[in-house]
Chain A
């Protein structure tokens, strides 16, 4: 079963992933996704009914921190690599919803 990825889907995934693809890249990406999904569809040959999805391999649970302040003023380090900063904060294009 060959997967078909349409323009709207590529557009939509681009919005989710915050990637802007050129027309050429979009066509490329469509083909890529279709081929990858066809490949991934091979997984459907396996009957996985009744199999619990495994996100963690090992049964390690309850790893906690105690509620104790360990960090001091981190502002200098936090801002050290900022492309643009002002008044101790990161500058971003204005966003008002």
Chain B
């Protein structure tokens, strides 16, 4: 390969909004449920039914637009996108083409390698999700379930500003965190509440013209996105190097085969015949409405990182990890509010919590334990009510079942033995039983005492205060 190429990437990210009901009807958006139980005349396209817009959808879309530095469209409309497919009950999707709710924004990203960049957002529009097709493995039919039909989506369309998979992932992560912090969606790529279609083209490095792009669909993980970008870049370069030209088309990524194929059909004309949705009236957004939404915006991640560093004197690295999910940051702040020990809270989250998350394969968003119990545990250690080893044991229980540490310690009799007399008796007995160790210690082997401490701890069932054992031992050895 003689020439050097660069990949140009733009993203269309669909995010399912966290509303209680669908975008145009009062059906629940809850996941699961037997097929078609979350449906009504509106979201199944029964003749004569009409859509009515869920206000919360507009508010979430505006909130995301504000957080991504967009202009909010003051006079917006919905349009119909016409195409026949069985997951689309009306055979048109209500979306926004001509006057989307947000335009012209950007987000700042930083890749793992520390490359900083601003990615433009062309627009954000509101639309309805489609139903689900379940294919019969053995037969020649598919089953349509409209439970997801009409679940509200925003589609965030970026400018073609990304040049690598690392930038794409940093951008998606930024969007995910921003939207999660807003509470507008849980943004789970693997569950489909966040979905990315990736537009890819290649061009010679230094060229200011874009190549022909393809659109890659069905990317359900960061890994799939990374592999698809790599694969599609290579495929396009191969075509160009062989003297061919890339065809503008939609391709579907196959995660198992690790390759993509064109989604083409004569019946699929890609002529959506958009026109203004006559069943819905325009959405007019006033200054007051924008200000109300703006005043409700929570502190975003970048602001939190800065505050953790300045107010709590945490290292920036730690602040970033603690804020890498809204849930984690929430636990940190709430626990700290109770015990006022930011470094210790951070420490528990950065070490034990992370370890257990890794071991159990838990995502930060799915952490179940309450900040109250973590704060209580930290206070108990500080008050020497339990020793560090017991604390770790108790935390595992908090992590898994959110137990109340005080109750758990009491119930399992794990409280630190701080009774000098009882401990002194045990140490004496252990010393008598281990004359060799005492002799070694007196002979200059400091480490020999370790065995005495260990056995004492064992006889105390791990509940003794290790500092106290040391003190008494040194005193007895005079």
Which of B109-117, B132-140, B225-233 has 4 or more CB atoms under 8 Å from chain A?
B132-140
> Does A68 contact B145, Cβ atoms closer than 8 Å?
no
- For chain A, the bracket of interface size reads 35 or more
| A65: contacting residue among B38, B54, B82, B139, CB under 8 A | B54
Beta-carbon nearest neighbor of A61 in chain B: B284
Given contacts A15-B269, A60-B281, A86-B143, contact A69 B36 (CB under 8 A): no
Complex interface bits, A32-72 against B, C-beta within 8 A gives 1, otherwise 0: 00000000000000000000000110001111111111110
Q: A16-B269, A55-B276, A92-B86 are in contact. Are A65 and B55 (CB under 8 A)?
A: yes
How far is B54's CA from A69's CA once the two chains are assembled, in angstroms? 11
Assess the B142–A67 pair: CB atoms within 8 A. no
With A63-B52, A64-B54 given, is the CB distance from A18 to B20 under 8 Å?
no
C-alpha spacing A70/B282, complex, angstroms: 24
Instruction: Give chain A residues whose Cβ lies under 8 Å from the Cβ of B284.
Output: 61-62
- A87 to B56 CA separation, bound complex (whole angstroms): 33
Q: Are B281 and A56 in contact (CB under 8 A)?
A: yes
Interface of A (DSSP majority class): loop
Is B245 in the interface zone, CB < 8 Å from A?
no
Please judge, given known A-B contacts A16-B269, A78-B36, A89-B35, whether A65 and B52 are in contact too, CB under 8 Å. Answer: yes
A94 to chain B, nearest CB (A): 5
Cβ contact of A74, chosen from B21, B39, B136, B281, cutoff 8 A: B39
The residue from B28, B84, B143 contacting A87, defined by CB atoms under 8 A apart: B143
**Chain B nearest CB: distance from A82 CB in Å?**
9
Residues A90 and B58 in contact in the complex (CB < 8 Å), given A15-B266, A69-B20, A74-B39? no
Q: Cβ of B252 < 8 Å from any Cβ of A? A: yes
Asked if A90 contacts B34 (CB within 8 A), the reply is no
B388 within 8 A of A: no
Q: Which of A71, A77, A79, A94 contacts B27 (CB under 8 A)?
A: A71
Residues of B within 8 A of A69 (CB): 20-21, 26-28
Q: Is the CB of A95 within 8 A of B86?
A: yes
The distance from the CB of A6 to the nearest CB of chain B, in whole angstroms, is 16
From residue 94 to 153 of chain B, which have CB atoms closer than 8 A to chain A?
133-136, 139-146
Residue pair A71, B282 in contact (C-beta under 8 Å): no
Whether the Cβ atoms of A78 and B141 lie closer than 8 Å is no
A91 at interface by CB-CB < 8 Å: yes
Most buried by A among B44, B77, B140, B141: B141
Given contacts A63-B53, A92-B142, contact A74 B38 (CB under 8 A): yes
What residues of chain B lie closer than 8 Å to A56, measured between beta carbons?
A: 276, 278, 281-282
Q: A68: which B residues are within 8 A, CB to CB?
A: 20-21, 26
Distance, CA A67 to CA B24, complexed state (A): 10
Question: Could you tell me the distance between the alpha carbons of A92 and B87 in the complex, rounded to whole angstroms?
Answer: 10
Q: Which of A12, A67, A78, A96 contacts B44 (CB 8 A)?
A: A78
B356 at the interface (CB under 8 A from A): no
Give chain A residues whose Cβ lies under 8 Å from the Cβ of B338.
none
Question: Could you list 20 examples of A-B contacts with CB < 8 Å?
Answer: A15-B266, A15-B269, A62-B281, A63-B53, A63-B281, A64-B52, A67-B20, A69-B21, A70-B21, A73-B37, A74-B40, A74-B44, A75-B35, A88-B145, A91-B144, A92-B133, A93-B142, A94-B142, A95-B86, A96-B135
Binding site for B on A (CB under 8 A): 12, 15-16, 18, 55-56, 60-71, 73-75, 77-79, 86-97
Hey, which bits of chain B sit against chain A, CB under 8 A? 19-21, 25-28, 34-41, 44, 52-58, 77, 82, 84-86, 133-136, 139-146, 252, 263, 265-267, 269, 271, 273, 276, 278, 280-284
Given A16-B82, A63-B53, 8 other A-B contacts at CB below 8 A?
Answer: A63-B52, A66-B54, A67-B55, A68-B20, A74-B41, A86-B143, A88-B37, A92-B144
Q: Nearest 3 A-B pairs (CB), nearest first?
A: A70-B26, A89-B143, A64-B55
